Structure 1
Amino acid sequence: MHDYDLIVAGGGFAGLHCAQAAARTGLRTAVLERKTEFGLHPHTTGILVREIAETWPVPARLTRRIEKIRLHGPSRQCLELASPGYYFLATDTAGLLRWQAEQARQAGAHLLAGHACHGVLTTEGSVLVNTGRGGRGLRGTFLAAADGARSRIASELGLGVNRRFLFGVEAEFLRTGDVLEDCFHVFLDPRLAPGYVAWLVPGVDRIHVGLAVRQPRRPRLDHVLRLADEILGIKLGEPDAYRAGLIPCGGRVRPLSRGNVMLLGDAAGLVSPLTGGGIHPAVETGRLAGEAIADYLLHDGIHPAAVLRRRAPRYTFKRGLRRLYDVLPGQRWLLDTAFSSRLFRSLAETVFFHHHGLWSPRAWRDIARCLRGVERGG
């Protein structure tokens, strides 16, 4: 039996940031990753928003800066969106996860690739984890479960589980020269991607083309590829790789913790119900959890579960918008009409370029400014 202060189940963005934050304080930390390598076959496109890019010193070789979004409507209308000073980073996601794993290792974390969590037993003040390696087990004071959208640990221990999902699929194509400018293409069409959007992103060394749909609909990637050809004039050839997976869209699960076990990342439902963005909350709450665990164990601080419950995003308003989006009829003419309005442009820029979305005072100032302009124009 190996003893740790913190065991992290899952080597994604949330788990690795939690491990790094805890290990750099001197806590004995282990990370279990069921895949044989960290960063192997990631399930995310890996888009970083500016707010997280500015606090996370990612190597430039792993990123490509994107400052514009082209939003395509059902009848092929196009809005070009930008915000002064704002940008996104497309990333080499596999490389980024490998790099972050190395950061956690250098901080002192013990990385265990090829080790899954096959069972958890909680006792007063400790957690026992069965790794399935010839009966080998780990004992920890805390367990951070960052084991994905369908968390086995959450189900086993009676914690909150995700119940609403989008299903996404993406193909990667090798870049052959500068066939695309640095622009993030988003296709908003309820027939193409009911419940969400399709996208085309020029990445570091690949072009990412994908879509996500509301279950139980099936995503038709071939339709998106046809659009890329028709609208952008791009023939991408044969895909170099595919990825697919579930995207939680029901907001933060409850309960988020029990005793010394806490959920992080997709397992906790910490994904924007509206945009599907999960890397930003994964990085922030992963760090938060690791620092809170260290503060509790080393300095008699507040229990980390209480810290996480108080500070992890709840997505109350975005859950409401998600429900509204799901029940609205998927009639293309509604979006066609909206695309011609200044208010729609302002709302779209708010969703894409404001960290706090519609909760941001700056966002509401921008919307109010737009409405005043509409009144003067009318």
Structure 2
Amino acid sequence: MAGERTASVDILVIGAGLAGLHCATQLARAGHHVLLAERRPTLTGTVRTTGIFVRRTLEDFVLPEEHLGPAIRRMVLYPPGLAGPVELASDRDEYRVGDMGPLYTAAADDAVRGGVDSRLATRFIGRWDGGYHLEDAAGPLEVRARFVVGADGARSRVARELGLSRNRHLLVGAEEVFVDRPDGSNPAFHCVIDPSVAPGYLAWVLRDGEHVHVGTAGHAHRFPRGLYSALRSFRERAPGLQGFVRPEQVEKRAGPIPVGGVLPRIASPAGLLVGDAAGAVSPLTAGGLDPCLRLSGHAAEVLDAALREGRPGGLAAYDGQVLRARFRRRLLMRKGLDGLRTPALASTAFTALRTPPGRALARRILFGDGSFPLP
């Protein structure tokens, strides 16, 4: 198809994050003709996620060991002021941080080996009656596809073109990543509940002995001096970095985080949404890598069945309302976290974490066996 300005495929996937790559690869391996379009010219730049993989993901998915950091078993939670933290330790490997650029590249290589026609530096322009408009360095490209998959992020253009639900509840996050200087301490994940630096979410320091991630996230309109000012302020007093001199070479990441739960309408007769585009992110923890892999696998199964059976309404099994109903408790907890608008309120709420029931709840959320609630 090189050099052609029209194409006909079974599936057009827009976006080459983990969700798009996983869905495209599964469909190509099932024997379908898949075109994957990604607007970025390279997958190793503009990383937006911290890249935290939880234990269930590591157990259920094959990820390149060489692109995963050391295991983390210790979580430390702090109130405003950082006094009297609550430390939780697990006897299992709970988290590992992925080196996301190489992970994306490895997943893209797997996709190509599986038969995916991958096009970088190719933008999705919109829909037309006969198919979809794309554009690359050679100019417009018109693609006819039986179905389109929107894996194009929290502010999905595919969702808009298909008339599907779009994310309304978004946090914004930013972090810095730099090489760690091992000091003999165990890998740890430090989280601070303080609305003055992370309104509606958390600020964090994650050290695994190889890299340090320092970040914050929250509601954009509730950062009094802006997101990056809050990040600088937090970095100056962040826990877990005592005596650590920040190097000059720092990777910066930022992006929107949907926390409204799986969206109600994530499929139409023309296609469906996966990953952040579908709101497949935990409303409470904002963890998105496990949901994106599981939901995109479910999407591939539904699309495969629809292509093989050729029935009208073949994507009806991909129902956001069914999935959303299983997020009720997390959505309620999200409202509670949103309500901690002052350090005083956050400190008062934090006292519950010091009680046995509070610690048990925190352990269940952070170290539990639950996962994305597939049908």
Aligned position for 2:238: 228
Q: 1:131 aligns with which of 125, 131, 135?
A: 135
Q: 2:349 aligns with which of 318, 324, 335?
A: 335
The yes-or-no answer on 1:121 pairing with 2:116 is: no
RMSD of aligned alpha carbons = 2.4
* Partner Cα distance (1:262, 1:301) in 2: 16
Aligned position for 2:204: 199
Higher mean alpha-carbon deviation, 7-16 vs 221-230, is at 221-230
The yes-or-no answer on 1:291 pairing with 2:314 is: no
* Partner Cα distance (1:358, 1:48) in 2: 13
* Partner Cα distance (2:241, 2:47) in 1: 29
Aligned position for 1:42: 47
Q: 1:238 aligns with which of 230, 235, 248?
A: 248
Decide whether the 8 Å contact of 1:228 with 1:234 is kept in 2. Answer: no
Report deviation, 1:287: 1.4
The yes-or-no answer on 1:173 pairing with 2:178 is: yes
Deviations 1:53-79 (A, max 9, x none): 112211211112111111122232222
Amino acid at match of 1:70: V
* Partner Cα distance (1:354, 1:229) in 2: 25
Report deviation, 1:230: 7.9
* Partner Cα distance (2:178, 2:207) in 1: 10
* Partner Cα distance (2:118, 2:215) in 1: 31
TM-aligned CA distance change 1:172 to 1:73, over 3 Å: same
TM-aligned CA distance change 1:138 to 1:357, over 3 Å: closer
3-state SS in 1 of match to 2:108: helix
Amino acid at match of 1:74: P
Decide whether the 8 Å contact of 1:228 with 1:235 is kept in 2. Answer: no
Report deviation, 1:316: 2.1
Aligned position for 1:264: 274
Aligned position for 1:69: 75
Report deviation, 1:84: 3.1
Deviations 1:280-336 (A, max 9, x none): 110011111112212221255895532321664552221122123223453243135
Aligned position for 1:363: none
Higher mean alpha-carbon deviation, 200-209 vs 8-17, is at 200-209
Aligned position for 2:10: 5
Higher mean alpha-carbon deviation, 221-230 vs 83-92, is at 221-230
Aligned position for 1:376: none
3-state SS in 1 of match to 2:165: coil
* Partner Cα distance (2:271, 2:129) in 1: 8
Report deviation, 1:357: 7.6
Decide whether the 8 Å contact of 1:49 with 1:89 is kept in 2. Answer: yes
Decide whether the 8 Å contact of 1:351 with 1:358 is kept in 2. Answer: no
Aligned position for 1:365: none
Decide whether the 8 Å contact of 2:76 with 2:87 is kept in 1. Answer: yes
TM-aligned CA distance change 1:304 to 1:47, over 3 Å: farther
Aligned position for 1:82: 89
Higher mean alpha-carbon deviation, 85-94 vs 202-211, is at 202-211
TM-aligned CA distance change 1:263 to 1:86, over 3 Å: same
* Partner Cα distance (1:229, 1:355) in 2: 28
Gaps of 5+ in 1: 360-378
Decide whether the 8 Å contact of 1:145 with 1:264 is kept in 2. Answer: yes
Gaps of 5+ in 2: 1-5
Amino acid at match of 1:249: V
TM-aligned CA distance change 1:337 to 1:6, over 3 Å: same
Aligned position for 1:14: 19
Q: Could you state the TM-score of these two structures normalised by the residue count of structure 1?
A: 0.87
Deviations 1:81-133 (A, max 9, x none): 1333351111101111111111111111111000010111255xxx4333355
Aligned position for 1:364: none
TM-aligned CA distance change 1:302 to 1:289, over 3 Å: farther
Q: 1:318 aligns with which of 322, 327, 330?
A: 330
TM-aligned CA distance change 1:72 to 1:327, over 3 Å: closer
Identity %: 31
* Partner Cα distance (1:91, 1:231) in 2: 21
* Partner Cα distance (2:330, 2:294) in 1: 19
Decide whether the 8 Å contact of 1:161 with 1:254 is kept in 2. Answer: no
Decide whether the 8 Å contact of 2:193 with 2:346 is kept in 1. Answer: no
TM-aligned CA distance change 1:341 to 1:12, over 3 Å: same
Deviations 1:146-178 (A, max 9, x none): 111111121233211111111100111122345
* Partner Cα distance (1:167, 1:26) in 2: 39
Q: Could you state the TM-score of these two structures normalised by the residue count of structure 2?
A: 0.88
* Partner Cα distance (1:327, 1:228) in 2: 23
